[in-house]
Amino acid sequence: MRVRYEGGFLVQEALKEVILDPVRRTPGSIVSHGHMDHLTSGGVMTPQTLEVLRVRRGSGTGVELPYDNEIEMNGFRVTLRDAGHVFGSAMVRVDDLLYTGDFNPEGGATCGRARPERVQTLIVDATYGRPGFSFPPKHDVESDLLSWLEMELANGPVALGGYEFGKSQELIALANRLGVEVAVSDKIADLADIYVRYGIPLRYRRISELAEAERTDPRVYVLPPGWLRPPLDDSVSWLGSIGLRSAYVSGWCAFFDYTRRYGLEAQFPLSDHGDFEDVIEFIAACGPRRVYTAFSNAKDLAKAVERRLRIKTEALLTR
């Protein structure tokens, strides 16, 4: 089986081929999840990702494939496994090859978790594939975040910034544990509505539906990162005048200081990826004979895999 990157991960064996996460609409492709750098129309994807596609792109087509159901595709046996990254995210098994896409062995409040399985070939996400990229224990980060929210809510409303899809819905789920009201942007709500239809019990209101008199009530606002600082769209410009205490939530907060850069009160390193040691442990548990590393830090991870696991590894040149 041969693997190379040509505007997507092209998997070939004899006359058979399939492309994974193409950069543009490609019928007969496979799409791993709903983040915009992976999301294209026309391919095979989980039913959840197809709904996310239609909300985020405005329209789109695809072939639904639920988790753990096997289909024949271009001569290959294809199965989607939960990737633990975001709602609907999938790892892709193609015969004896596994493509992780973005993945998280620890999972989250609104998705399952990635589980290793024995394969001959592994294409693995290297987003945090540099030695030294390590996250604090997830339950500690969540506890710190909830404690900060409780403390700050005593003085008024609080804002949390996170990616529009995936992280924002995780933040809604976490804030719901406190029993306080959560208000979100319309785009975050449109995506959260999909979660609710699939039985994930998120509770939130739309900011656009708040009465003016309610705006300063103690609640958690979950906002896109760009809304944490001016200039804001006229429709939400009032957010900058109600004295919000604000925090940014991202795995990258473990390595970069966003509080000073954006004038925030706090930041929390809560990631929807596995860190370096998670990735190494996952690779070892899959026991592949060949590994391809992908995305940022692919070269660093390839060197580490060859050095620590003694597995032949190649870094793919990706977008």
* pLDDT score, position 28: 86
Which two three-digit tokens encode residue 120?
A: 């001959």
What is the pLDDT averaged over residues 118-129? 97
Q: Are 232 and 166 in contact (CB under 8 A)?
A: no
| The pLDDT value given to residue 318 | 61
**Residue 319 in this model has a pLDDT that exceeds 60:** no
pLDDT at 50: 98
Question: Based on C-alpha coordinates, what's the Rg of the chain?
Answer: 20
Share of the chain above pLDDT 70, in %: 99
Query: CATH 3.60.15.10: which residues of the chain?
Result: 2-133+273-315
CATH assignment of 138-268, among 3.40.50.720, 3.40.50.10890, 3.10.20.30, 3.30.70.60: 3.40.50.10890
Instruction: Write out the E strands in 95-235.
Output: 97-99, 121-125, 158-161, 182-184, 205-206, 220-223
Handedness of CA 295, 89, 86, 276 (dihedral sign): negative
**Structure confidence at residue 261 (pLDDT):** 85
Each residue of 72-108: b (16+ CB within 10 Å) or e? ebeebebbbbbbbbbbbbbbbbbbebbbbbbbbbbbb
- Report pLDDT for 235: 81
**Burial class (CB within 10 angstroms; exposed 0-12, middle 13-18, buried 19+) of 109:** middle
Query: In angstroms, how far apart are the furthest CA atoms of the chain?
Result: 67
Q: For the chain, what is the mean pLDDT?
A: 95
| Residue 233 banded pLDDT, cuts 50, 70, 90 | confident
Q: Pick the closest to residue 302 from 287, 191, 317, 83 (CA basis).
A: 317
Q: What is the mean pLDDT of residues 164-188?
A: 97
What are the start and end residues of each CATH 3.40.50.10890 domain in the chain? Answer: 138-268
> 3-state class of 11 per DSSP?
strand
pLDDT at 7: 92
Nearest to 202 by CA among 177, 224, 232, 165: 177
If pLDDT is split at 50, 70 and 90, which confidence band does 142 have? Answer: very high
**33 vs 241, residue with greater confidence:** 33
CATH class of 2-133+273-315: alpha beta
| H-run or E-run covering 48 | helix 47-57
Q: What is the pTM of this model?
A: 0.95
- CB under 8 Å to 149, separation ≥6 — which residues? 158, 160, 175, 178, 180, 220
Q: Which residues contact 42 (CB under 8 A, 6 or more apart)?
A: 25, 26, 27, 28, 29, 60, 61, 62
